Amino acid sequence: MSAALRATRRATRLSLYDRKKALFVVRVMIASAGLGALFASVIKLFFIQSERPVGSFVLFGALAGSVISVSLALLSGAITRSRKRPLWFTFFGVPVLYTLVIALEYAFLFHFIMDPAASLGDFMLPQTIAFSLSMTFVFNFIDAINRLLGNHVLRGLLLGTYHRPVVEERFVLFLDLAGSTSTAERIGDLAFHSFLNDFFCDLAKPAIDLGGDIYKYVGDEAIITWGRDAGSSGALEAFFSIGEAIAAREGYYRARYGDVPRFRAGLHFGKLVVGEMGDYKQEIALLGDVMNTAARIQGECRVLGADLLVSADAARALASDHRALEPRGAVSLRGKGGAIELFSVAGA
């Protein structure tokens, strides 16, 4: 394969992931600009006596909201990369840091753009700090609970979406860490726990950014699911984006563990029963043959010498512009009555 073709495939591999990240940032900036414009307008109309027209406050608020949202996005990325932090810091420390950034940038912009002679009280800095602290605390609390329960699980429990079981069509990706037994024996149980945790942390962001939900971590396996619409474009791409995320941290893994995670995965699509399960330690459970089949497909990766295998059902549900699939024939899976047609993926 030529270097040009490899470069083209690499660019294609990252394009969907990059587009989703860029779209998210744009949405956040637009929303922040709107909230900033609204907040500044309220201050002008009800709290500050100024000869400046409301339009100037609207423009200032929009600019402040955009600048602050970018700063918080950068700070959030740095905090997320640190990973090892207690829960109390997420609940209390992060809101304080966010509030400090908001207050400093708001004060700077107001002082140098709107009114250099203004005092702290003139541009409502104490009120801004109080409002920012309360809002960031609420958002960080919700985000922390959402991270503990899983993406969309908190919303489902609060709204009772799955109080009664429902049938949904989902893509299911069973992803297994290859060579985990030998790695654990070589580096020891405690180091292997850190190794596995780093791997799961690195795969989570690409999977979620591409519309997936982390359903469970089971031993050295991760189970990721997508709804039909999100999965048609994101489920296959997630495997490659996870690989890129691991490759970007190869130096870290080799320096700390002397090894880099390698993984295999099986992708299937079909109907699942989704519903609340349990009372204490309640969760939203996924049940159905699709789960078992996806696990069996992943198990065939070693037999067929493939890192990623896709079922015919999943292949039919993928978007038309997905990566090239290579037929591997009909395979009898352990515990299944009939054979199932499998495909490997070009470039995997």
The pLDDT of residue 170 is above 50: yes
Residue 288 vs residues 154, 250, 281: alpha-carbon distances, Å: 22, 36, 21
Q: Which of 55-59, 262-266, 284-288 has the lowest mean pLDDT?
A: 55-59
1 versus 84: the higher-pLDDT residue is 84
Residue 293 vs residues 37, 174, 290, 339: alpha-carbon distances, Å: 51, 10, 5, 11
Q: Which of 30-34, 107-111, 124-128, 313-317 has the lowest mean pLDDT?
A: 124-128
What is the separation of C-alpha 107 from the centre of its chain, rounded to a whole number of angstroms? 32
The predicted-structure confidence for 198-236, as pLDDT tens digits, reads as follows 999 899 888 988 889 899 999 999 999 999 998 998 999
- Which two tokens mark 219? 């031993």
* Rounded mean pLDDT, 241-254: 94
* pTM, to two decimals: 0.71
The pLDDT of residue 341 is above 90: yes
The three-class DSSP label of residue 276 is strand
pLDDT of residue 271: 96
- State whether the Cα torsion 335-177-223-25 is positive or negative: negative
Residue 247 makes CB contacts below 8 A (sequence gap 6+) with none
Judge whether 237 and 48 are in contact, CB under 8 Å.
Answer: no
Separation between Cα atoms, residue 113 and residue 135, nearest integer Å = 25
The three-class DSSP label of residue 122 is coil
The three-state DSSP-derived secondary structure of 194-228 is HHHHHHHHHHHHHHHHCCCEEEEEECCEEEEEEEH
How far is it between the farthest Cα atoms of the chain? 80
21 versus 61: the higher-pLDDT residue is 61
DSSP 29-46: HHHHHHHHHHHHHHHHHH
Q: Which of 120-124, 268-272, 287-291 has the lowest mean pLDDT?
A: 120-124
Q: How far apart are the first and last CA of the chain?
A: 14
Q: What is the CATH number of domain 153-345?
A: 3.30.70.1230
The predicted-structure confidence for 81-101, as pLDDT tens digits, reads as follows 665 667 777 777 888 888 888
Number of residues in the chain = 348
Domain ranges in the chain are 3-149, 153-345
* Rounded mean pLDDT, 251-265: 95
